[in-house]
């Protein structure tokens, strides 16, 4: 992905930090949903949702083929998410762990 900054005083890294701060400032799933709908095109949002949908299956050890059959998410996308789960910065794991803590105890998965 091409990184660019029209303003040399505001490098892309600073803009990324600003986006992270904006995301953290939102107080509810409704606010976050509204922000994401405003920020992303429908196709971009669909890609994000697809990636997030496969995380629980991967954490449970479900095969790529079965995940594809259950979700219709491409094998390529599933592999990409798996790679970042295993070799990424830990963002998927942190979010999955926190999301699991919000579930009622009877529905939590042991692997998260």
Phi/psi region, residue 63 (left: phi>0; alpha: psi -120 to 50; beta: rest), is: beta
pLDDT per residue over 74-94, tens digit each?
A: 999 999 999 999 999 999 999
Give residue for tokens 């669909």. Answer: 46
pLDDT above 50 (res 112): no
Angle between the 91-101 and 42-59 helix axes, to the nearest 10 degrees?
A: 80
Residue 12: exposure state from Cβ atoms within 10 A (0-12, 13-18, ≥19): exposed
In sequence order, the 6+-apart residues with CB closer than 8 A to the CB of 112 are: 56, 59, 96, 97, 99, 100
pTM for the structure as a whole: 0.78
């Amino acid at each position: 992905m091409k990184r660019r900054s029209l303003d040399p005083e505001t490098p892309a890294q600073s803009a990324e930090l600003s986006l992270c701060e904006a995301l953290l400032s939102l107080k509810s799933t409704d606010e976050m949903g509204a922000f994401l709908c405003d920020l992303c095109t429908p196709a971009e949002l669909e890609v994000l949702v697809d990636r997030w949908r496969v995380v629980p299956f991967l954490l449970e050890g479900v095969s790529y083929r079965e995940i594809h059959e259950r979700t219709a998410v491409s094998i390529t996308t599933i592999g990409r998410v798996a790679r970042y789960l295993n070799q990424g910065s830990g963002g998927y794991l942190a979010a999955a762990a926190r999301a699991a803590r919000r579930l009622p105890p009877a529905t939590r998965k042991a692997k998260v």
